[in-house]
C-alpha cells in the first residue's frame, strides 16, 4: 500500500490570499501523480496529471509542480476565491495499471 501524505490537513485563508499545500509520496517506482478537487456534496474532479520530474501544470489560478526524485508535489492557488473552497486530493499510482490510492486530502476554506 502506497503511503501518501498531504499537508496541511486543513487550511483557512482570506479571499485574495495565495496558498499552497503538499503531497508526499514514495519516490521509488514513480509513474504519475494526479491532483483532484472535491467540492462538498459533489464528486471529485481531476485537476492535473503529472508524469515528469520538474513538471509544472497550470489551470487558471491553480498550478502544480512535481519533484519525483524527492517524492513531493506542490499545489498553488493564487488569489484564493470562495469558490476554491474544497478538499484537494493527490494520488500517485504506482504503475499504469495500478489501483489509484488517494491521500487524505487538504481541506481549503476561503473566507470572503
User: All 3 cell numbers of residue 29?
Assistant: 517506482
Of 10-18, 20-28, 38-46, 69-77, which part binds other proteins (CB under 8 A)?
Answer: 38-46
Q: Applying CB under 8 A, which of residues 5, 10, 99, 109 lies at the interface with other proteins?
A: 99
Measured CA angle at 42 (ends 35, 13), to 5 deg = 65
The residues with which 73 forms a beta bridge, in sequence order, are 23, 66
Position 92 contacts other proteins (CB under 8 A): no
Nearer to other proteins, 1 or 112 (CB): 1
Residue 92 CB: number of other CB atoms within 10 A?
Answer: 27
Task: Give the C-alpha separation, 23 to 66, whole Å.
Answer: 9
Q: Applying CB under 8 A, which of residues 28, 40, 43, 70 lies at the interface with other proteins?
A: 43
Widest CA span in the chain: 42
Nearer to other proteins, 17 or 101 (CB): 101
Position 101 contacts other proteins (CB under 8 A): yes
Residue 81 is classified by DSSP as -
Residue numbers at the binding site for other proteins (CB under 8 A): 1, 31-32, 34, 36, 42-46, 49, 51, 87, 89, 96-105
Amino acid at each position: 500500500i502506497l503511503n501518501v501524505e498531504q499537508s496541511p490537513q486543513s487550511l483557512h485563508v482570506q479571499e485574495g490570499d495565495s496558498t499552497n499545500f503538499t503531497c508526499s509520496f514514495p519516490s521509488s517506482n514513480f509513474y504519475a501523480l494526479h491532483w483532484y478537487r472535491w467540492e462538498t456534496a459533489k464528486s471529485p474532479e481531476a485537476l492535473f496529471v503529472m508524469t515528469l520530474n520538474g513538471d509544472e501544470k497550470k489551470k487558471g489560478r491553480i498550478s502544480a509542480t512535481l519533484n519525483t526524485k524527492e517524492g513531493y508535489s506542490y499545489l498553488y492557488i493564487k488569489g484564493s476565491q470562495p469558490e476554491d473552497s474544497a478538499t484537494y486530493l493527490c494520488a500517485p499510482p504506482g504503475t499504469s495499471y495500478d489501483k489509484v490510492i488517494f491521500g487524505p486530502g487538504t481541506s481549503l476554506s476561503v473566507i470572503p
